[in-house]
């Protein structure tokens, strides 16, 4: 079995449970999934790392029916606001892709899965969010 | 106090497909039409601005070689879907600054040529190596949500529905029904076909809740506006003066920081900022507007802008469309041209064409689609990224 890499660098897969991380402005606490030269909120330039929650709320979605040939449809694209701060763009997984099942403001929880394998057998690990039955 | 700026000439092409013309033909012809409309020539212009998203390299200078090389400054601007309005505003700013007393703005685009649709995202790579500012190892479109426009604006619509009652598939479909109906009497619209609510809901789903008939088409087209200072206007022929339209507000904004903005483009805050500044500048109240041309790239977008532009009660965009208020015979007619959904959306032309539409109604020259006795109107465009332009136009004597 090949090794694993995260699909994006703000997903951390180490020995423990996978988690999302953000660059956090030392001055105002604004969170960024990518690196920033300066904080877009306050303008300061010092950043630390912050571990983000793996639970949140579905604040927007679309059910995509038309996409590039390589992308299976239909799928649910979602905006999730995370508990404790931060937001991510993600697919909603483990749910029927229809408007009756996808409920705005429902609690969701992060999960991970293999999204692709390269020629060396290395797996790309992606995150998605699913309905949070425990909430 | 800077001088007021007025519109004295307008022109637009019918939006559609022009396989036998290039973007230079579209832009040059429409500029000549706008100058003819204002009884001026290129020799009267002190400044020129040209908006084109996909042909930005000195298109303005190429146009000058078709319509007149007089040595005046020309600014080539891009600002996504706000490109055309940015060109108009560039000329307005030059006149307000006192650097020019008359100027020509052009917005143009050609999107129907084969091979136009650019390849989105990165191809699969044989070996996973982190790339870009997110360290992506493979294409993320369709894995971490969608960045395609129909989906992005669908999410903007459902985000509004998450916060406010009375907004769903039905309301978005009604908006498309209205704009297709409006376009049926606009000879300049790319499509002029009436569709029933059921046909709109049953047309192929693109990105729920946006079906195909709720999405703007791609197309070709151009629009042009001739602008003057008020001081200069007073020296012009009475026939020109009596058709002049005053620009009572001209505002551009970009998107201020909001936490979720990096994952969901915020098309709301900058529109609210622009609208509020425009109402303040002009002294016009949203209730006073006789017509509005707003940026309905998708039906979901039009709905949220009812609220952002203060056309409805806060949170009341669903009720607003249900009540029929934005119909051409309603309280605040919205997109009587057919909007981007049916008039079309050649990106660089759109912002200038909205100004053409409102000015044409204020001049009483809109033919079958004329809003009776229109005296004040608003135009709005959004370029995702984001850029927002709002203009308020008024019919006044000078």
Q: What is the pLDDT of residues B34-80, one digit of tens each?
A: 999 999 999 999 999 999 999 879 999 999 999 999 999 999 999 99
Q: Which residues of A touch B265 (CB under 8 A)?
A: none
Phi, psi of B278 (to 5 degrees): -70, -40
Q: Which residues of A touch B154 (CB under 8 A)?
A: 62
CB pairs under 8 A between A and B: 156
Q: Do A89 and B145 touch (CB under 8 A)?
A: yes
Residue ranges of B 46-75 with Cβ closer than 8 A to chain A: none
What does the pLDDT read at residue B172?
Answer: 98
What does the pLDDT read at residue B117?
Answer: 55
What's the rounded mean pLDDT across residues B205-231? Answer: 98
Number of domains in chain A: 1
What does the pLDDT read at residue B115?
Answer: 63
Choosing among B125, B132, B145, B169, which should be mutated to test the A contact, i.e. which has the most A CBs within 10 A?
B145
What does the pLDDT read at residue B56?
Answer: 78
> Is the confidence at residue A118, as pLDDT, over 90?
yes
Gap from A64 CA to chain B (nearest CA, Å): 4
Helix or strand holding residue A19 (H, E) = strand A19-25
Whether B30 and B49 have beta carbons less than 8 Å apart is answered as: no
- Closest by CA to B371, choosing from B272, B279, B292, B274, is B292
What does the pLDDT read at residue A125?
Answer: 97
Nearest CA in chain A to B209: A62
Q: Do B208 and A63 touch (CB under 8 A)?
A: yes
Among B112-116, B197-201, B247-251, the minimum mean pLDDT is found in: B112-116
pTM score: 0.96
Nearest CA in chain B to A85: B259
> Is the confidence at residue B313, as pLDDT, over 90?
yes
Give me the CATH topology for the region B149-217+248-394: Peroxisomal Thiolase; Chain A, domain 1 (3.40.47)
- Closest by CA to B159, choosing from A130, A61, A134, is A61
- The Cα A5–Cα A12 span in angstroms is 9
- The Cα A108–Cα A97 span in angstroms is 15
Among A86-90, B7-11, B124-128, B382-386, the minimum mean pLDDT is found in: B124-128
Strand partners, B389: B252, B381
> Is the confidence at residue B120, as pLDDT, over 60?
no
What does the pLDDT read at residue B114?
Answer: 66
Q: Do A66 and B150 touch (CB under 8 A)?
A: yes
Confidence category of residue A135, pLDDT binned at 50, 70, 90: low
Q: Which residues of B touch A61 (CB under 8 A)?
A: 155, 158
Angle at which helices B299-308 and B169-183 cross, to 10°:
100
> Is the confidence at residue B192, as pLDDT, over 70?
yes
Whether B352 and B223 have beta carbons less than 8 Å apart is answered as: yes
Average pLDDT across chain A, whole number: 96
- The Cα B27–Cα B32 span in angstroms is 9
Minimum-distance CB partner of B151 among A77, A87, A119: A77
> Is the confidence at residue B122, as pLDDT, over 70?
no
Q: Do B262 and A120 touch (CB under 8 A)?
A: no
Minimum-distance CB partner of A60 among B158, B204, B262: B158
> Is the confidence at residue B234, as pLDDT, over 60?
yes
Q: Do A68 and B169 touch (CB under 8 A)?
A: no
Q: What is the pLDDT of residues B346-362, one digit of tens each?
A: 999 999 999 999 999 99
% of chain B beyond a pLDDT of 70: 97
Residue ranges of B 261-280 with Cβ closer than 8 A to chain A: 262-264
Nearest CA in chain B to A29: B259
- The Cα B84–Cα B34 span in angstroms is 15
- Closest by CA to B337, choosing from B223, B177, B153, B180, is B180
Q: Do A66 and B204 touch (CB under 8 A)?
A: yes
Task: Delimit the domains of chain B by residue range.
Answer: 5-113+219-246, 149-217+248-394
Q: What is the pLDDT of residues A24-73, one digit of tens each?
A: 999 999 999 999 999 999 999 999 999 999 999 999 999 999 999 989 99
In words, the CATH class of domain B5-113+219-246 is alpha beta
Q: What is the ipTM of this complex?
A: 0.96
Strand partners, B251: B390
Q: Do A119 and B127 touch (CB under 8 A)?
A: yes
What does the pLDDT read at residue B238?
Answer: 97
Q: Do A9 and B130 touch (CB under 8 A)?
A: yes
- Closest by CA to B231, choosing from B5, B78, B390, is B5
Interface check B126 vs A, CB under 8 A:
yes
- Higher per-residue confidence, B277 vs B116: B277
> Is the confidence at residue A1, as pLDDT, over 60?
no
What's the rounded mean pLDDT across residues B336-347? Answer: 98
What does the pLDDT read at residue B323?
Answer: 98
What does the pLDDT read at residue B118?
Answer: 52
Confidence category of residue B236, pLDDT binned at 50, 70, 90: very high
What does the pLDDT read at residue A108?
Answer: 98
Q: Which residues of B touch A7 (CB under 8 A)?
A: 136-138, 140, 143-144
Q: Do domains B5-113+219-246 and B149-217+248-394 have the same CATH topology?
A: yes
What does the pLDDT read at residue B121?
Answer: 54
Interface check B124 vs A, CB under 8 A:
yes
Q: Do A61 and B155 touch (CB under 8 A)?
A: yes
Whether B358 and B370 have beta carbons less than 8 Å apart is answered as: no
Gap from B294 CA to chain A (nearest CA, Å): 22
What's the rounded mean pLDDT across residues A112-125? Answer: 96
> Is the confidence at residue B166, as pLDDT, over 80?
yes
Nearest CA in chain B to A87: B260
Nearest CA in chain A to B205: A65
Confidence category of residue B398, pLDDT binned at 50, 70, 90: confident
Which residues span the domain enclosing A74? 4-131
- Closest by CA to B168, choosing from B179, B156, B157, is B157
């Amino acid at each position: 079995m090949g090794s694993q890499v995260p699909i994006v660098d703000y997903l951390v897969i180490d020995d423990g449970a996978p988690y999302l991380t953000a660059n956090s402005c030392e001055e105002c606490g604004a969170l960024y999934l990518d690196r920033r030269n300066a904080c877009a909120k306050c303008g300061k330039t010092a950043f630390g790392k912050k571990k983000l929650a793996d639970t949140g709320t579905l604040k927007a979605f679309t059910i995509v029916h038309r996409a590039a040939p390589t992308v299976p449809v239909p799928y649910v694209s979602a905006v999730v606001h995370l508990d404790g701060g931060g937001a991510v763009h993600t697919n909603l997984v483990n749910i029927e892709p229809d408007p009756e099942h996808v409920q705005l403001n429902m609690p969701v929880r992060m999960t991970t899965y293999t999204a692709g394998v390269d020629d060396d057998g290395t797996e790309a690990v992606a995150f998605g969010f699913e309905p949070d039955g425990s909430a | 106090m800077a001088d007021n700026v007025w519109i004295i000439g307008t022109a637009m092409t019918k939006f559609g497909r022009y396989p036998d013309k290039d973007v230079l033909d579209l832009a040059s012809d429409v500029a000549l039409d706008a100058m003819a409309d204002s009884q001026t020539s290129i020799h009267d212009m002190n400044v020129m601005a040209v908006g084109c998203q996909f042909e930005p390299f000195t298109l303005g200078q190429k146009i000058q070689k078709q319509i007149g090389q007089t040595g005046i400054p020309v600014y080539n601007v891009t600002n996504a879907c706000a490109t055309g309005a940015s060109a108009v505003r560039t000329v307005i700013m030059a006149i307000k600054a006192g650097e020019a007393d008359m100027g020509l703005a052009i917005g143009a685009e050609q999107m129907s040529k084969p091979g136009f649709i650019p390849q989105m995202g990165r191809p699969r790579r044989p070996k996973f190596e982190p790339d870009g500012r997110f360290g992506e190892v493979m294409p993320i479109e369709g894995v971490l949500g969608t960045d395609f426009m129909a989906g992005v604006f669908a999410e903007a619509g459902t985000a509004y529905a998450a916060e406010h009652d009375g907004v769903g598939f039905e309301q978005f479909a009604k908006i498309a029904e209205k704009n297709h109906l409006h376009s049926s009497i606009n000879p300049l619209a790319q499509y002029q076909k009436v569709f029933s609510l059921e046909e709109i809901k049953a047309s192929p789903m693109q990105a729920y809740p946006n079906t195909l008939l709720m999405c703007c088409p791609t197309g070709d087209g151009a629009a042009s506006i001739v602008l003057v200072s008020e001081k200069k206007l007073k020296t012009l022929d009475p026939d020109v003066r009596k058709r002049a339209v005053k620009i009572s507000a001209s505002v551009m904004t970009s998107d201020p920081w909001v936490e979720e903005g990096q994952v969901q483009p915020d098309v709301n805050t900058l529109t609210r900022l622009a609208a509020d500044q425009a109402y303040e500048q002009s002294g016009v109240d949203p209730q006073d507007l006789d017509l509005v041309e707003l940026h309905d790239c998708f039906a979901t977008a039009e709905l949220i802008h009812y609220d952002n532009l203060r056309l409805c009660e806060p949170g009341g965009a669903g009720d607003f469309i249900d009540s029929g208020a934005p119909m051409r015979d309603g309280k605040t007619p919205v997109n009587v041209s057919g909007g981007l959904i049916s008039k079309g959306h050649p990106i660089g032309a759109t912002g200038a064409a909205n100004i053409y539409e409102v000015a044409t109604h204020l001049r009483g020259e809109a033919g079958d689609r004329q809003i009776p006795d229109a005296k004040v109107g608003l135009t709005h465009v959004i370029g995702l990224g984001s850029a927002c332009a709002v203009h308020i136009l008024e019919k006044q004597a000078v």
